[in-house]
């Protein structure tokens, strides 16, 4: 009998197939005691296992490339974190085996993060995966992971670590569903990069029996258990219609009546450029430069290394717009040379622009490198600061850009509600705004963007979030300046129409989403988008907002 479950759709498309479950987690190692004479040997075993796992994650990243490489390299850094390793050594010194010392040290850190409710708690799945890989190596057992199957299937897991998601074979894994995670988790981001339909934060998903036929709609978040023939035909027809629309869509982003909405790509570095170009991106709306800095958490990359990396991206978009976000460190992206190590809540502490203003030499070097990278190139360079709270922040950033001799537009990200509320004031100092809807939702609703239990409040359709976006867009229009969206909200085709109706002037997203957004925008006039936006803002919940906007656009 067909039943319907609802999660959070995070990657477009429809997948129909049999369920396969992710392998179970590594069992807890026994609490066996060792003698003092064995401690040094066990510490050596632990270090070798850590080094091997870190190397494996780096290798997986190089194989996967693009966004996945950045994520896996960051995960490899977790494995070799000096504080964690010092804790492992201490536990072994007082009698733990290598595997038990690793397990307990990671468990202690995990509990600290989860219990404190920090932004870093969103990386608990990554931490568990690293721990499991190290313990499995020490125990000499295979690391549980993606099931071995010769036939295509839909993967179900409690959560997926980046190391597993990055190397999924789209020819075999038709789609995936997780009980945990959120719309901006690493798994969701990588699913979009792979173009695999996916649903996250779906309660009870792991209770669906192995071999059960399910249908996954990654656009709506609906999962149909044992779908009827009629439902399968309906979903397949909708998927075919969507595919045909994508094939027919090309060129710059615009509504059906010619209102231009530039569609830009979010990239993490040169490896992501090819996919952006192939998707028809009109430029880059978010160049995340922090991944360059995560290669070595102890020191900033040299000016020369930064110039080389930036220039590769700038060269790919001649006559195009490239918006660079300066280093966004802190919270889940700690850097030893930059961010405080003892903050009780890093998400609310010294992160983003605050870190850079405390270390002006790091900011100056980055801005100088960007200036030199753009020399002689016919590119429209724009540089923006993360975590801008008010006009004082905006002025400090703009002054730093001028002092570095940067010939570019200076902008501010709207990720803190205060920035949306005082957007017009901020625009007295900078030339454009860019809305980071992921963090804006997190701070507006006090809801960690990586925790599945509060995914309802992370939904970008929340009317309160739409109100903040509208405030920012209205302020920019009043000042004759631009206001784009570079958060995950822009990757939802229906929501892209609403954002356009709210007055947003450009949309930036993962490359895989660009064709979907382009095709959907082209179906509606600007007036229809404006009516859909008004209907969504008048709703009282995210679901009501989505339904209201859809009703307007479908003419109901």
Catalogue the active-site residues. 186, 486
**How many Cα atoms sit within 13 Å of 474 on the Cβ side?**
11
Check: CB of residue 314 under 8 Å from CB of residue 374.
yes
Encoded tokens for 520? 């959907």
Tokens 């510490």 appear where? 43
Tokens 């609403």 appear where? 498
Check: CB of residue 320 under 8 Å from CB of residue 282.
yes
Among 396, 406, 333, residue whose Cα is nearest residue 359: 396
DSSP 147: P
What gap in Å lies between CA 217 and CA 199, rounded to an integer?
A: 8
Check: CB of residue 444 under 8 Å from CB of residue 464.
yes
What gap in Å lies between CA 166 and CA 448, rounded to an integer?
A: 23
Among 488, 548, 555, 551, residue whose Cα is nearest residue 517: 488
What is the sign, positive or negative, of the torsion defined by CA atoms of 183, 188, 191, 192? positive
CA angle 296, 193, 322 (to 5 degrees): 70
Name the helix (H) or strand (E) containing 283.
Answer: strand 283-288
Residue 509 bridge partners (DSSP):
265
What gap in Å lies between CA 84 and CA 89, rounded to an integer?
A: 9
Q: By CB neighbour count within 10 A (0-12 exposed, 13-18 middle, 19+ buried), where does 86 fall?
A: exposed
Encoded tokens for 139? 């125990």
What gap in Å lies between CA 307 and CA 495, rounded to an integer?
A: 36
Q: At what angle do helices 39-64 and 82-93 cross, to 10 degrees?
A: 150
Among 304, 332, 278, residue whose Cα is nearest residue 77: 332
What is the sign, positive or negative, of the torsion defined by CA atoms of 225, 230, 231, 235? positive
CA angle 510, 81, 449 (to 5 degrees): 35
Check: CB of residue 314 under 8 Å from CB of residue 379.
yes
What gap in Å lies between CA 153 and CA 20, rounded to an integer?
A: 6
């Amino acid at each position: 009998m067909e039943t319907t479950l609802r999660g959070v759709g995070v990657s477009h498309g429809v997948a129909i197939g049999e369920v396969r479950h992710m392998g179970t987690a590594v069992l807890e190692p026994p609490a066996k005691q060792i003698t003092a004479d064995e401690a040094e040997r066990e510490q050596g075993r632990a270090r070798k296992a850590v080094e091997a796992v870190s190397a494996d994650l780096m290798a997986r990243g190089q194989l996967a490339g693009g966004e996945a490489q950045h994520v896996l390299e960051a995960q490899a850094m977790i494995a070799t974190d000096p504080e964690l390793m010092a804790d492992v050594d201490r536990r072994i010194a007082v009698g733990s085996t290598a595997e038990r010392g690793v397990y307990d040290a990671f468990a202690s850190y995990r509990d600290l993060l989860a219990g404190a409710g920090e932004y870093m708690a969103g990386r608990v799945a990554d931490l568990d995966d690293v721990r499991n890989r190290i313990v499995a190596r020490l125990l000499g057992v295979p690391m549980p992971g993606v099931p071995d199957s010769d036939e295509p299937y839909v993967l179900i897991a409690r959560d997926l670590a980046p190391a597993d998601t990055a190397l999924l074979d789209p020819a075999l894994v038709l789609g995936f569903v997780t009980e945990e995670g959120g719309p901006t988790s690493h798994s969701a981001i990588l699913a979009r990069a792979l173009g695999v339909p996916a649903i996250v934060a779906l309660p009870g998903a792991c209770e669906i029996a192995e071999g059960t036929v399910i249908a996954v709609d990654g656009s709506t978040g609906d999962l149909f258990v044992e779908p009827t023939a009629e439902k399968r035909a309906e979903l397949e027809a909708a998927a075919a219609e969507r595919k045909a629309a994508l094939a027919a869509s090309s060129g710059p982003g615009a509504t059906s009546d010619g209102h231009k909405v530039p569609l830009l790509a979010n990239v993490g570095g040169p490896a992501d450029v090819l996919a952006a170009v192939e998707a028809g991106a009109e430029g880059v709306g978010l160049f995340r430069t922090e991944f360059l800095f995560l290669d070595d958490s102890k020191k900033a990359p040299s000016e020369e290394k930064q110039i080389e990396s930036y220039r590769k991206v700038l060269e790919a978009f001649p006559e195009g717009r490239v918006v660079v976000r300066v280093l966004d460190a802190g919270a889940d992206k700690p850097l030893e040379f930059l961010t405080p190590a003892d903050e009780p809540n890093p998400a609310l502490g010294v992160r983003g622009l605050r870190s850079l203003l405390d270390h002006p030499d790091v900011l100056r070097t980055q801005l100088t490198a960007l200036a030199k990278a753009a020399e002689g190139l016919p590119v429209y360079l724009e540089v923006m600061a993360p975590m801008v709270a008010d006009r004082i922040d905006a002025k400090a950033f703009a002054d730093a850009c001028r002092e570095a001799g940067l010939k570019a537009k200076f902008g501010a990200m709207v990720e803190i509600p205060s920035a949306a509320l005082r957007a017009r004031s901020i625009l007295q100092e900078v030339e454009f705004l860019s809305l980071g809807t992921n963090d804006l939702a997190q701070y507006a609703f006090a809801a960690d963007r990586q925790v599945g239990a509060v995914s309802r409040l992370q939904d970008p359709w929340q009317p309160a979030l739409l109100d903040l976006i509208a405030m920012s867009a209205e302020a920019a229009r009043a000042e004759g300046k631009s206001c784009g969206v570079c958060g995950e909200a822009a990757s939802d085709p229906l929501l892209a129409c609403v954002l356009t109706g709210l007055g947003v002037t450009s949309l930036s997203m993962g490359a895989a989403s660009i064709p979907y957004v382009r095709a959907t925008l082209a179906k509606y006039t600007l007036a229809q988008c404006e009516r859909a936006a008004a209907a969504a803002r008048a709703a009282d919940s995210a679901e009501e907002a989505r339904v209201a906007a859809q009703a307007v656009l479908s003419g109901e």
